[in-house]
Amino acid sequence: MDRHWTFGRKIVAGFMLVLAFTVVIGIVASISLRDVVASKDNVINVNGPLLVTAERLQTLHEEQGNALRAYLLTSSSENFAAIERTRADFSADLDHLKSVVIAEEGRRMVEAIKQAEDEHRKVSDQVVAMRRANAPAQAIADAFTNQIVPKREPIIKAIAAFVQRETQRLNDAQATSTDAASRAIILIGASAIAAALLAGLVAFFLTRSLNRQIGAAVRHVQSSSAELHSAANQQATGVKEQVTSMSEINTTISELLATSRQIAESARRVAQISEETTSAARSGDGTVERATESITGIRRQVDLVVGHMLELGKKSQQIGSVLDIVTELAEQTNILSINATIEAAGAGDSGKRFAVVADEIRKLADRVAVSAKEIRTLIDDVRSSVNTTVMATETGSKAVETGTRQFADVATVFKQIAKLVATTTEAAREIELSTKQQATAVEQVNIAIVNVAQATKETEASAGQTIQTASELATTSRDLLRLVQAKSAA
């Protein structure tokens, strides 16, 4: 039996199986009874009447003999009529037998009766004719004894043989009918026992299957109810947490709403500031362009300064060359004065005046040398300053060049800033609009959250109801399990 069949389907299938067996038993019983009935009918309608007809043939033959004797004694018409009537009845019965008997043996025995009867009738007719002719009684009696009586024996024997045959056939038919009835009784009883066993088996398997299925289903229901109970508890807990969370969400959304409004206000201020920044950036762009022109002028001036400084360096170098000559001249002068002093000292008194002059010249040369050293120092300072200035100026020139490029970059950046600020303004307006929409949406969300909180409370109540239902379901499943499995339930 399919495990997936439903409860009702299994019961219907069991009943249908039992019903089918019942029908089969009924059909078998009907067939058996029909055979029994047919056998009995055959006994009653065929063998019985044949035996009766055969026995009536004996009776009619006896009546015919009696009537013949009476007629031969009395010669009355009534007796003759009785003879005719018995003959007619005999012939009718014999014809009936000829039409009814089918078996060859029977037909041959009937034919023998008929032939014996015909011979008997022929002899009887001759004796009757003698009686009508008023033949002597002795002659008639002799004729009767010699002619008729010998003809009666074959008839009686043939009829007796036929009666014996029909009696035997009746007995056989009765025995056959009895056997058929016995077989029918045994078959019906066996079918009934088989049906009872089948019904028991069906009931057993149906009960076991139903117990198994229903028990499993009930256990499953118990398990499910336990899980449902647990889930409902969790749901209740979750719903409580959800209620708390909803409250927090509600608070958060309120803060979010306030924040959205602040953002909208900030975005509006940003848009306003962005517009001001745009005008400032445009003004800054013009300022940068003017500054770029100024820096270009400064660069030209710096180039001029560098040129002048380099020229000054060259002049300083030329001065240094001249000063080298002056220094050398002073040194030579000093040498000359020293040598003059030496020579003057060697000239004695006449050289003293010359020594004085030489001394003065030497002093002058010393001073010139000292001054040349100072000038050399100054020129070195000047050249160092010029170099430093040139380097600083070149650095400044590079800085100016860098500044020019940077100002160009700044100008580009200012233009980009202007564009970006315009974009920012647009974005800030969009943010303001979006934030207002967001605030509206947040209000709607707030309302929705309130509804959700209400739904959550209802869910909490529903969870309680679910817990109660799960408990009732568990109780019901236990009861149901106790109904289908008393031991298990116990």
Applying CB under 8 A, the residues found at the interface with other proteins are 331-332, 334-335, 338-339, 341-342, 345, 352-353, 356-357, 360, 362-364, 366-368, 371, 374-375, 378, 382
CB of 304 to other proteins, least distance (A): 21
Of 50 and 382, the one with the shorter C-beta distance to other proteins is 382
Nearer to other proteins, 61 or 362 (CB): 362
| Closest distance of CB 272 from other proteins, Å | 58
Nearest to other proteins of 172, 328 (CB atom): 328
- In the chain, the amino acid numbered 44 is I
What token pair was written down for 436?
């207002």
Q: Give the nearer residue to other proteins in terms of CB position, either 244 or 388.
A: 388
Instruction: Decide whether 62 or 366 has the Cβ nearer to other proteins.
Output: 366
Q: 194 or 342: whose CB is closer to other proteins?
A: 342
Least CB distance to other proteins at residue 390 (A): 19
Q: What is the dihedral of CA 277, 281, 287, 288, to 10 degrees?
A: 140
- Beta strands, E only, 238-362: none
Smallest distance, Å, CB 363 to other proteins? 8
Going by C-beta distance under 8 Å and a sequence separation of 6 or more, which residues neighbour residue 109?
158, 161, 162, 165
C-alpha 242: how far from its chain's center? Answer: 31
Using CA atoms, how far residue 117 sits from 31, 58, 127, 166, 467, in Å, is 44, 11, 15, 19, 107
CB nearer to other proteins: give 366 or 443. 366
Least CB distance to other proteins at residue 393 (A): 19
Scanning 75-148, the segments in alpha helix (DSSP H) are 77-100, 104-132, 137-143
The two three-digit tokens of residue 193, written as one number: 């026992």
Measured CA to CA, the distance from residue 80 to residue 479 in angstroms comes to 99
Q: How far is CA 481 from CA 223, 266, 312, 436, in A?
A: 12, 70, 121, 63
Closer residue to other proteins (CB): 326 or 489: 326
Whole-number Å distance between alpha carbons of 381 and 487: 124
- d(CA 59, CA 82) in angstroms, rounded, equals 13
Task: Provide the minimum distance between the beta carbon of 421 and other proteins in the complex, in angstroms, as a whole number.
Answer: 52
Q: Do 372 and 326 meet the contact criterion of CB atoms below 8 Å apart? A: yes
User: Are the CB atoms for 450 and 250 separated by under 8 Å?
Assistant: yes
Nearest to 393 by CA among 277, 276, 302: 302
Write down the least CB distance from residue 376 to other proteins, Å: 12
Residue 359 burial class via C-beta count within 10 angstroms: exposed 0-12, middle 13-18, buried 19 and up: middle
CB of 386 within 8 A of CB of 312?
A: yes
Nearer to other proteins, 265 or 328 (CB): 328
Tokens 């398990």 correspond to what residue?
223
Instruction: Give me the least distance between CB of 318 and other proteins, in Å please.
Output: 16
Taking the complex as a whole, the smallest distance from the CB of residue 336 to other proteins amounts, in Å, to: 9
Nearest distance from C-beta of residue 328 to other proteins, angstroms? 9
Backbone angles phi, psi at 75, to 5 degrees: 60, 25
Q: What are the backbone dihedrals phi and psi of residue 92, each rounded to the nearest 5 degrees, phi first?
A: -65, -45
Toward other proteins, which CB reaches closer, 82 or 330?
A: 330
